Amino acid sequence: MEEVAILGSTGSVGTQALDVVRRHPDRFKVVILSAKRASRRLLEQAKAFEPDFVITEEPAPDGFKRELPTKTKHLTGLLGLSLALERTKPKKVLNAVSGIFGIEPSFRTLEHSNALLLLANKETVVAAGELLKPYLERIVPVDSEHNALFQVLRNLKREEVKKLYLTASGGPFRGMGKEELKRVRPEQALKHPRWRMGKKITVDSATLMNKGFEVIEARYLFEVPVERVEVLVHPQSLVHGIVETVDGHHFLVAYPTDMRYPLQHALFYPERVATDLPTLSWTSVGKLEFERPDFDTFECLKLAYEYGRRGFPHTALLVGADEAAVELFLEGKISFTDIPALVKRTVEALAPRFEGPPTVERAVEAAAAAYAAAKGSA
């Protein structure tokens, strides 16, 4: 039995991770569950998995605490997380918290435990990637593209790798021009053609900022310059990552469009265990297409490359500014095409204030400042 902690357990990634755990009851013992709110869903998860600790960001009403299993203690916030990690010493911690609030739990895990960090929260890598360098051996990426690349790269020497390719479905607005994009509404942006995910990442997939974040993630997780990371639009979303070697071979990693594949890989890592999920059947796959993304229309991707090249503080500011811009778009306060302009304005205005070497505190502070500035500007 391996002890695992699932942070952000009530979200899209968290619930799918618990589904994998549920399919292998003899292999995992869930010791920590965490979420923002003391919700009904969290309570049901606590009843089903009986962890040692349930952690919420917001305070929990007495009724919630009373209904928890007798062995489960309730704690709050980052202090609660550090305490729970020290007490339970999990072997693996999945960080599937969304947004800026996921950054600190990653570092608490790396600094307060010896656990492997199964990292879904991409904001950690984008905002504070420079600080992950000493911990790279303890991180297993969960984002489908990086998990795919990770599986190939661990069998290759650094000097053998020429280029990394990240695939993108292209999102719901693939093929649209700028004029059309000006008029798209939040409910259209929330309809992703391939994946069902939280709202923030779904809108980021529509602007291609998500893919931009992933380019930056690849820079830090695999220590390659962004110029050697190429994005390919691949509408079928079956090939998730490609590694090109210096002698001209391309290793493609493919699996069905289902986050439970990378989650199963990460939860069992370094073992490989048979899955009972339906696997790919090549004869029914049909055509696989790959095309270049439209950088002029989807400006967020261009911005992410630029800030990814520059690193901190631009990357941390990018995370905060984008989080606010997406919220404003979902609230109907700005248009879809205002998102890149607001992000750029915010990052450029705040960058001089945060110049200097990054720390976790400064990365979080920069992301929060960019969030506040962008949110307040609309």
Ligand X SMILES: NC(=O)c1ccc[n+]([C@@H]2O[C@H](COP(=O)([O-])OP(=O)(O)OC[C@H]3O[C@@H](n4cnc5c(N)ncnc54)[C@H](OP(=O)(O)O)[C@@H]3O)[C@@H](O)[C@H]2O)c1
Judged by beta carbon, residue 54 or residue 351, the one nearer ligand X is 54
CA 138 to chain centre: 17
Q: How far apart are CA 150 and CA 141, in angstroms?
A: 7
Residue type, 15: T
Judged by beta carbon, residue 13 or residue 351, the one nearer ligand X is 13
Nearest to 314 by CA among 339, 349, 359: 349
* Least distance to ligand X, CB of residue 125, Å: 10
* Least distance to ligand X, CB of residue 158, Å: 25
* Least distance to ligand X, CB of residue 319, Å: 10
Judged by beta carbon, residue 122 or residue 362, the one nearer ligand X is 122
Judged by beta carbon, residue 186 or residue 345, the one nearer ligand X is 186
Is 319:123 a contact under the CB 8 Å cutoff?
yes
CA 7 to chain centre: 12
| Element at 86 (helix H, strand E) | helix 77-88
Judged by beta carbon, residue 69 or residue 198, the one nearer ligand X is 198
Q: Is 231 exposed, middle or buried (0-12, 13-18, 19+ CB in 10 A)?
A: buried
* Least distance to ligand X, CB of residue 143, Å: 4
Residue type, 158: R
* Least distance to ligand X, CB of residue 240, Å: 11
Strand partners, 252: 242
Q: How far apart are CA 315 and CA 212, in angstroms?
A: 11
* Least distance to ligand X, CB of residue 98, Å: 4
Judged by beta carbon, residue 34 or residue 351, the one nearer ligand X is 34
The helix/strand/coil state of 132 is helix
Nearest to 174 by CA among 200, 195, 192: 192
Residue number of the CB closest to ligand X reads 11
* Least distance to ligand X, CB of residue 292, Å: 23
* Least distance to ligand X, CB of residue 354, Å: 22
Which position has the token pair 């995910």?
A: 197
Judged by beta carbon, residue 135 or residue 345, the one nearer ligand X is 135
Residues 6+ apart with CB under 8 A from 45: 9, 10, 18, 33
Which position has the token pair 């879809």?
A: 336
User: Concatenated DSSP letters for 283-329?
Assistant: HHH-----B---TTT-HHHHHHHHHHHH-TTHHHHHHHHHHHHHHHH
Task: Summarize as ranges the residues that interact with ligand X (CB under 6 A).
Answer: 8-14, 34-37, 39, 57, 96-98, 101-102, 120-123, 143, 195, 197-198, 201, 259
Task: Give 145's Cβ-side CA count (13 Å radius).
Answer: 27
* Least distance to ligand X, CB of residue 330, Å: 12
Strand partners, 279: none
Is 361:104 a contact under the CB 8 Å cutoff?
no
Judged by beta carbon, residue 197 or residue 233, the one nearer ligand X is 197
